[in-house]
Chains A and B, each alone.
Chain A
């Protein structure tokens, strides 16, 4: 589904933060992306989200060479990828329901068409009673679940999560992990960036370890 070949990334004239990345992400797969702070996890996630362009190498996604894509084509490809940010990035002026429905509004779908889908997903992540609440009054765990729901509402083929358990207690972290596992079982490839060893020990999955800009894959 996604293939990186000799990919390197540097910011401006600085040193390469990512070097010679060669790996693939298959459909329906589950993997943790880990490494010490500053190893380049967020940069790699941004490359996967088409939010950064590599300074060298080839990235192909869904059988497309990303370097050859127009802006609109990149946006269309991005719709097949869901992202959960560490800081949630929910829009404070919109209710939880509206935040989760946002990707569908962007797709131009009518509310009557997606309403049941959004309500069902919010029920599933345990935010049924909170769907009318604004993000500032949600707890950290609720925000995280709303962010996850927003990331998967448009049924992406790949789900990226940046430190999804970084701001929650271990019990909630476990429940969130279970959520990701269930989403993976339904067919979504999942990449969870984390340096929470305990979380990774909870589930036996492929590990992509970044160290000094290089990636080591442990299947």
Chain B
């Protein structure tokens, strides 16, 4: 069929209607095949934004907990204590000096610091009150032995030497506490990973269902494209591109909000350094920074969320096309 020639020679059923040149000039095929701005599309963006925010928050908190648990373990594990008990016919100060020498001579020891009498008094102050004269009480003295990073000193031989030369001294390598701490830290890490997995599962499911819901409103477009001869890859490509952008937009909003929140917390934490509250928080959670890895994980989540949305739309389009055909 030759459209140009026959139209000119044919009788025109609507020859009484003519378009003005301004109307003809004004029209342009600029509208996207998949409508860019729809209520369903905006709702999907909001869902993706909220779920990305929650998932990013969970990821960040999980990373903080894992990092703090690791810090607790290494801090406790890098310290042992020697206790020197008072005993009749023993000069406790001399015993402390001997124990310090033995400890300093041991391999893998970085620092040995005996508690002074005043420090020892402060340790028992909560129970016995202030202004205590230690000479009046048989209070043991503590020596804090800090280990070199990565060193594993031979505690058995150190115990044997101490027992031989300073019978009133005993070594506590905190093994009992470390074991408890490790159990607690491992439980916290497992719990965080479980919560993260659940949040991710909910995120992927809710984004998938929200995408399907939004796609349902676009079914007429899929049908029309199919009937005018579009290939399946053309149709799914149109929707995939559109939903990739929607998912990315939602991801950037949600992930961006999470990044902003973590940055504010990190800044607030650095302002609180050397204050009593700040020290307590630092003691529990470290420096409250998710670090470069944390921010990178959030950026990856944004990209992942966009991909989930695009993939869900592609699957829904393909299923719709299978139902039509």
Chain A residues engaging chain B, CB cutoff 8 angstroms: 49, 51, 53, 71-72, 74-76, 78-79, 81, 83, 85, 89, 91, 93-95, 97-98, 101-103, 105-107, 111, 115, 117, 119-129, 131-132, 145, 150, 152, 154-157, 175-176, 178-179, 182, 185-188
Q: A123-B18, A131-B27, A132-B26 known; A71 and B232 CB under 8 Å? A: yes
Distance of A179 from chain B, by nearest CB (Å): 5
Residues of A within 8 A of B233 (CB): 72
Q: A106-B225, A187-B1 known; A119 and B24 CB under 8 Å? A: yes
Sort chain B's interface into a size bin.
35 or more
Q: Is B261 an interface residue (CB 8 A)?
A: no
Across the two chains, which residue of chain B brings its CB closest to A99? B224
Q: Is the CB of B31 within 8 A of A83?
A: no
Distance of A28 from chain B, by nearest CB (Å): 9
- The CA of A188 and the CA of B31, in the complex, are separated in Å by 30
**Could you list 5 further interchain pairs (A-B, Cβ under 8 angstroms) beyond the known A123-B17, A125-B14, A182-B10?**
A75-B229, A89-B224, A93-B31, A131-B23, A156-B1
- The CA of A71 and the CA of B322, in the complex, are separated in Å by 10
Q: Is the CB of B20 within 8 A of A129?
A: yes
Q: Is the CB of A186 within 8 A of B18?
A: no
Across the two chains, which residue of chain B brings its CB closest to A141? B14
Q: Is the CB of B31 within 8 A of A98?
A: yes
Considering only residues 215-248 of chain B, those with a C-beta below 8 Å from chain A are 220-221, 223-234
Q: Could you give 24 example pairs across A and B, Cβ below 8 Å? A: A71-B325, A72-B231, A74-B325, A75-B230, A78-B229, A85-B227, A89-B220, A89-B227, A91-B220, A91-B221, A93-B31, A97-B27, A98-B27, A121-B7, A123-B17, A129-B18, A129-B20, A132-B26, A150-B228, A156-B1, A157-B1, A179-B13, A186-B10, A187-B1
Across the two chains, which residue of chain B brings its CB closest to A90? B224
Q: Is the CB of B31 within 8 A of A186?
A: no
Distance of B295 from chain A, by nearest CB (Å): 38
Q: A131-B23, A155-B1 known; A175 and B14 CB under 8 Å? A: yes
- The CA of A150 and the CA of B3, in the complex, are separated in Å by 13
Q: Is the CB of A128 within 8 A of B24?
A: yes
Q: Is B11 an interface residue (CB 8 A)?
A: yes
Q: Is the CB of B24 within 8 A of A98?
A: no
Q: A76-B229, A93-B31, A175-B14 known; A120 and B19 CB under 8 Å? A: no
Residues of B within 8 A of A186 (CB): 1-3, 6-7, 10
Across the two chains, which residue of chain B brings its CB closest to A176? B13
